[in-house]
Amino acid sequence: MAVHVIQGIPVSTGVALGRAYFLNRGRARNIPRQNIPDRDVEDELLRMDQAFSQALAELEDIQGRVPAELLEHARIIDSHIMMLKDPKLLESAKTCIRNMQLNAEWALEKAVADIETVFRSIEDAYIRERIQDVRLVAGRVQQYLLGESGNSLRSINTRIILLAHDLSPADTVELEVGKIMAFATVTGGKTSHTGILARAMQIPAIVGAADLEESIQDGQLIIIDGLQGRIIVEPDEEELASFTDLKYQFEEYQAGINRSSHLPAETIDGYRVKVFANIELLEEVSSVLGNGGEGVGLYRTEYSYLNRLKLPDEEQLLEEYQDLASIMFPGKVVLRTLDVGADKFMNHFGGLDEANPALGLRAVRFCLHHMDLFRVQLRAILRASVHENISLMFPMVSGLGELRQVKSVFNSVRMELKKEGLKYNPEMPVGIMIELPSAMITADILATEVDFFSIGTNDLIQYSLGIDRTNSFVSYLYQPLHPALVRMIKYVVDAGHRAGIEVSICGEMAADPYCIPVLMGMHVDCLSMNPQAVPVIKHIIRQATMEECKALLKDVLASKTVGRNNKLVKDSIFRRHPSELMFYSSLLDEGY
């Protein structure tokens, strides 16, 4: 009998063998739809109020009992608590009860569906995936409306592989770390909390495994292959033998690169590269330090603005930025100003009908349109800069005119703080992200106005090649080593160096082992990536020579096709690391 294999998205590397344990909360339910008579409307409204109150009390109780190993992740629960306290979801559901005379369970489902419709129009993948948080909060409320008890993680008394429709931060902080061997969920993407937490716990995790609930029963023996995103159900002797061999190889490999992860990222012939990490939560700092990250090359400040009843004030932002700088000191911290659009702030600024938000009022454009919001963030960043390891970065700058507009506001805020007698670092480095073709073409001009460049390869690839990588019809065109992209990146690096400023690479390319030799050949100064990629990237760098990297870059620049470039880099990596290829994840495919 053939072994059943479920394919998902690997978000935390490793392999595990164990018994499946399904967490009921958040799984798909058969929600009853009932029309209620007028006399029962008030009773349904009361049921809804009580369910929200019970769910809130449960979350607050969980927050107070977080195990020491996950204490720093307790803040993630705040957003779920804020959602339950926010009257919008509750009132939307109650409106359905009043106006449509629906039962509480169905009214809540409709309210969530309405919110989901709004979220689906959001271009940013990280923000779009936050609909999972809304569903999880609603699922917790539904548990009380339906009278479900659910499987409690606190009742687990043996080591298991945890399976769920989705896994909330509140669920994960209830667990005893030593009892969970791996995670797998039906929903979620690469930026979901499940992946963040699994990587912090250093256990394998797979998300987006669509057939999970239909194909696996509680207690079945399964293998989680976090290297290839595979879930193997009831493995046979051959699969078990393969698992044992793979687990041994991976652990040996992981131990080796972890031993050297805190050493400098320096090539055999002495070329040094800084290796930083990209994060959006303070809770991820331990992962940066634990994996050998030398600093934070990108702190996505927008997370602090999401799922709040009201926008954060200057003091709240200041405290967050100071905490980050203090923990990372003397490591560098680059704070990126808000990189979101009006579609994320509808509750605060009203609706804005944009046909294409990704090319609309977002990032610095949005900030310049909402000056009060922008100035508050700049004040907080400047005041936090007294730690002297903070740098400021503006995203999505299209050209010199826009850059000077932003700098004018920045200088105005500096003068304002000076008049108020508030301290800040007048020498704080200020840089920009190069992620638009217009910024790339004018990099030589922009380089004279800033202290550093950070090339945002994810957006630069999409905007330059005219594709949405989340669109399955054109995602095959998302090619980091497209000849045009390689030339663009080299042009920006050269322009920055001619002006005497540092240039970093920030994006998935920086975490791709196959792209590293090409970027090294360009003499990039810094690579910034997700924290878990740091050890392997440092390992690649430490095994390379600049002579080899420059020779490879020369060949790639002479190539005319993506397919040729991909083959060149894969052959190069194979010659240096033939036994490690199975452990590398890459953006590259065969190309064209």
Could you give the 3-state DSSP secondary structure of residue 323?
helix
Cβ–Cβ < 8 Å for 562, 483 = yes
Q: How far apart, in whole angstroms, are the C-alpha atoms of residue 300 and residue 347? A: 21
Cβ–Cβ < 8 Å for 519, 550 = no
- Any residues with CB less than 8 A from the CB of 268 and at least 6 apart, and which? 542, 543, 544, 545
Token pair recorded at residue 406:
């932003």
Q: How far apart, in whole angstroms, are the C-alpha atoms of residue 195 and residue 530? A: 11
For 490, phi and psi rounded to 5 degrees? -65, -40
CA distances from 9 to 186, 195, 522 (A): 10, 10, 31
The DSSP annotation for 20-42 comes to EEEE-TTS-------B--GGGHH
In DSSP terms, 266 is beta-bridged to 272
Could you give the 3-state DSSP secondary structure of residue 473?
coil
Point out the residues that are catalytic: 193, 506
CA distances from 186 to 165, 170, 174, 211 (A): 5, 18, 20, 7
- Alpha-helical segments (H) within 189-345: 193-201, 212-215, 237-259, 285-290, 314-328
